[in-house]
Structures are given as structure tokens and as C-alpha cells.
Amino acid sequence: MNIYAELFLTFAKMGAMTFGGGYAMLPILQREVVENKKWATEEELADYYAIGQCTPGIIAVNTATFIGTKYKGILGGVIATLGLVFPSLVIISAIAALITNFSDYAVVHHAFIGIRACVCVQIFNSVLKLGKKSVIDIPTALIFIAVLAVSFFTDISPVVFVVVAAIIGIIIKSLEAKKA
């Protein structure tokens, strides 16, 4: 299969199967991009996701763009992004045409309650997987705990957390390199 078609279809499949936004896409990204296609490593995916969260736009779209660009350059980034958003465009257009007719049905409301609960579990599982690869020593564990604690008690932007954690990571690893 043409590699660009494969890139488009892989991300289109993810776009069609993801309910709940960018966070819900993380387990699918891990399975398809890291485990099945090997287009990125767990660490790269975590980096792309972090950058995607603190750059303008939708996290999933940003992440798809990063992965496609890494794998096949700018054209790969464009194709991965188009593949990701195409199913949503089609599905949202169809839902928008029909939603006013069905939004008052209890079964629709109940279905979305179940979907949201399922998405929470998927996100939690992805966080555990990424945590195992990201929290690799005492300094990274301390950064994790500090960000977790501060994020619970403040409304600080995720961008600030990512930038500060990056600076701390640079300082810590530079000091470790000097000791070695």
C-alpha cells in the first residue's frame, strides 16, 4: 500500500474510533502508532502529546501532525492531519443534521453517560502506561508529584507546567552530566 494512503487510513481509523476528545485518543495512538506501526516510540509520543497540549489547536490534531511529519515530512504531517479530521467532519455533519430530532430521547442521554465513563478508563490506562515510561527516576518522580499537586490546587495553564518541567529537567540532567 502507498505509505501516504496507509498514513491517511491509519489516522482516519483513529479519528473514526475516538470519542471524548484528544485524551481519549491516547490509547489508540499508543496501540497504532507505537506498537503496530512503530512510527514513534512511547517517549516520542509522550513528547508530542505534551507539545500538542501546549500549542494552539486540538491536541489530537497537533499530535497527528507531529507524528506524520516525523514519519514522512511535511506532506506526511498534512496527510496524517487530514486523515484524523476527515471522519469527524463526516460524522459531525451527519449528527448536526439529526441531533435536534434525537437529543431529547433518554436512550441517547444514557448512551453518552456510558461513553464518558468508558473514555475515563481509557485515559486512566494511557496515563499509567505513559507514567511508566516517563517517571524513570527520583527527579522525574518529584517533578511528577509537584505538577500533580500544584495542578490540583491551582488553575495554572498546562503550558506553564510543561515549560517549567522542561527547564527543571534540563537543569537536573545538566547537573547529573557534570557529576559523571
Is residue 144 located within the same domain as residue 82? no
Let me know whether 65 and 77 are in one domain.
yes
Give the C-alpha separation, 150 to 143, whole Å.
Answer: 11
Q: Are residues 94 and 164 in the same domain?
A: no
Q: Domain range spanning residue 122?
A: 3-133
pLDDT digits (tens, 9 = 90+) for 96-134: 877 777 778 888 888 888 988 888 888 888 888 888 888
Same domain, yes or no, for 80 and 141?
A: no
Region 147-159: mean pLDDT is 92
pTM of the complete model = 0.60
Compute the distance between CA of residue 175 and CA of residue 158 in angstroms, rounded to an integer: 26
Residues 51 and 11 in one domain: yes
Total structural domains within the chain: 2
Instruction: Count the Cβ atoms, other than its own, within 10 Å of residue 83.
Output: 24
Same domain (yes/no): 142, 127:
no
Answer with the one of 133, 148, 164 that is the final residue of a domain.
133
Cell of 162: 510543561
pLDDT of 81 strictly over 70: yes
Whether residue 66 sits in one domain with residue 14: yes
Check whether 78 has a pLDDT greater than 90.
Answer: yes
Whether 128 and 169 share a structural domain:
no
What percentage of the chain reaches a pLDDT higher than 70? 97
23 and 63 co-located in one domain? yes
Q: pLDDT higher for 11 or 29?
A: 11
How many C-beta atoms surround the C-beta of residue 109 within 10 A? Answer: 10
83 grid coordinates? 486523515
Q: 94 and 76, same structural domain?
A: yes
50 and 110 assigned to the same domain: yes
Return the pLDDT at 109.
82
